[in-house]
Amino acid sequence: MNYIEEDQKYIWHPAQQMKDAEVFPPVFIDYANGPFLYDENGKEYIDIISSWWCNLLGHCHPEINEALKKQVDALEHVIFANFTHKPAIELCQELATLVPKGLTKFNFCDNGSSSVECALKMSFQYQHQKGETQRHLFMCLSESYHGETIGALSVGSMDLYAQLFKPMMMENIHFDGLDCYRCSYGKIRDTCDCECFESAEKAFETYGHETVAVIVEPILQGAAGMRIYPPEYLRRLRALADQYGVLLIDDEIAAGFGRTGTMFAIEHAGVCPDILCTSKGLTGGYLPMAIVCTTEEIYNAFYDDYGTHKAFVHSHTYAGNPLAASVATAVIKILKRDKILEQAQHTADYLTEKLNEALGHHTHVGEIRHIGLVHAIELVKDKQTKDAFPAEQRIGWHIFRKAMDRGLVLRPIGDVIYFNPPLNIDKDTLDKAIVLCKAAVEDVLGG
C-alpha cells in the first residue's frame, strides 16, 4: 500500500498548509525508540523537538510501556464522576510531592487547551462565589499562547492563531513585554530590572478590580519562539495580582515537568500560583491527559450543600483515564528514581557550549537562548539590527526540510529553530544533532 497516497486521500493534518504536502509530503513514521523515529525504510530521525515538546523520556520507554500494558488488562476507562480508581489516586499522591507547596487539589482534563478552559471557568466561578461578581476580565501577556479552543485563544495574544476568530472571542486585557531579544527598553535579559513590567502595572491600575485572573506561561513563552524572560517578572506579577485580588494561573503545559531545569518553571521565581495547568510531559508524551492543580481555598469555595449550586459543573469524558494515569505515575517514578532533572542540567550545560561553538558565530544567528534543555536559535537577516527575514522566504521551513533530509526533526517556529529534546537524551545523540542542525542551517543560509 502507498501510505502517503492513502494519507493524502483522508487526512487533514494539524497546523500546516495541506498544499505544502505536494512538495513535502508527511513523513511516515513506522516505529520509534528513545530519541529516534524511524520511517518505513528504516531511516533514522532524531526527535530533537520531543514530538511537540511532550516526549519526556524518549519513545517506547520499556518501563512506561510495561505500566501501560499492565493497566490495560485491569481497567481501561471508567466514568470519573462519582467513580475513582487506583491509577488516579496514585498519580495524585505522586503529583502532590512535585507541585509548588500550596497546590493540593487536582482536577483532570484530557488536553492542554481543555485544562486552560477549565482554569478560566474555575477562577471565574471562584470569584463569583466569593461575591466578586464585578470581575469578568482575564489578563494575559503579549505573544502568549495557551491553546486553540476559543476560550484559550481569547487569553492568547498570537495573531497567527487568533486574528480571524476575534469576533468569536472574549474581550480581554493584553499587556506588553517579554521580548527580551528585542527589548524595547534597550536592556539585557540577565541584568534588566523588568522595566517592561510597567505595562502590567498600568493594566492592573485600570482593570485590576474587574479582573478574574491573569494567565502566564512561566519563564518560557514556547509558541512565541521559545522566548525566555527573567523570574523577577513572575515575582512582581504574583505580588500585583495579590494586591488586586486577581488569581494567578500558571500555564505549565509546555514548561512543566523539567523542561526549564526545575520541575515546574514557576519554581525559578519561588512563588506559588493559585492554579497550575499541566499536560504534555505529564504522561511522557504517551497519552492525552491534563491536570488543573489548585489550592484548598479555591476548592473550598465550591464545597457546599447540593442546593447551593456551587459545584464545579465541568467535565471531560476521558477525565482521569486510568491508562494515562498509570503512565503518568510511571513517568514521575522514573524522574525521581533516576534523578533525571540533575542529569538533564549537566546535559544542558554541554548543549549550551557545543551549540554556541557550532553556530554562535554564524552571520544569521541573532541569539542562542536557553533554559534547561530548551535551546532556541533565532535566525535573523541582520545580526546588528536584529531585522528578521521576510516571512515569505520561510527560512525556518526550508531549514526544517533540509534537516529532515539529513535525519533531524527541526520543525521551527517561524525563523526560530530549537532543541527541546527528551530529558534523558545522551551527549552523543546531541553531538550528532548539532552537526545535522549546523549542516541544515548552512544548506539554506551558507556557512
Ligand X SMILES: Cc1ncc(COP(=O)(O)O)c(C=O)c1O
Return the residue matching grid coordinates 512506561.
64
Is the Cβ of residue 37 or residue 215 nearer to ligand X in the bound state? Answer: 215
Nearest CA-CA partner of 127 in 49, 211, 236, 218: 211
For 378-401, b/e burial (b = at least 16 CB within 10 A) is bbbbeeeeeebbeeeebbbbebbb
Nearest to 436, CA basis, from 392, 391, 402: 402
Contact residue for ligand X among 223, 246, 368, 408 (CB under 6 A): 223
In terms of CB distance, is 71 or 113 closer to ligand X? Answer: 113
Residue (380 or 410) nearer to ligand X, CB: 410
What value does the CA radius of gyration of the chain take, rounded to a whole number of Å?
Answer: 22
From the list 16-24, 111-119, 292-300, 407-415, the region that binds ligand X by CB under 6 A is 111-119
DSSP state of 442: H
- Minimum CB distance to ligand X, residue 341 (Å): 20
Site for ligand X in 242-301 (CB under 6 A): 251, 253-254, 279
- Asked whether position 222 contacts ligand X by CB under 6 A, the answer is yes
Distance CA 119, CA 136 (A): 14
Q: How far is the CB of 412 from ligand X (least distance, A)?
A: 15
Is there binding between residue 112 and ligand X (CB under 6 A)? yes
Min. distance of Cβ 335 from ligand X in angstroms? Answer: 20
C-alpha 395/C-alpha 389 separation (Å) is 7
Each residue 126-145 as x (binds ligand X by CB under 6 A) or -, in order, gives: -------------------x
Name the minimum Å distance from CB 276 to ligand X.
12
In the complex, the smallest distance separating the C-beta of residue 183 from ligand X, rounded to whole angstroms, is: 22
DSSP H or E run through 302? none
Report the residue number, 57 or 282, with the smaller CB distance to ligand X.
282
Question: Alpha-carbon distance 441 to 395, whole Å?
Answer: 9
Alpha carbon distance 444, 428 (integer Å): 25
User: What is the spatial order of strands in the sheet that 374-379 belongs to?
Assistant: 365-371, 374-379, 416-419
217, 267, 274, 378: which one contacts ligand X (CB under 6 A)? Answer: 217
| Binding test (CB under 6 A) with ligand X, winner from 147, 208, 320, 372 | 147
Return the number of the residue (208 or 288) whose C-beta is nearest ligand X. Answer: 288
Binding site for ligand X (CB under 6 A): 111-113, 116, 145-147, 217, 222-223, 251, 253-254, 279
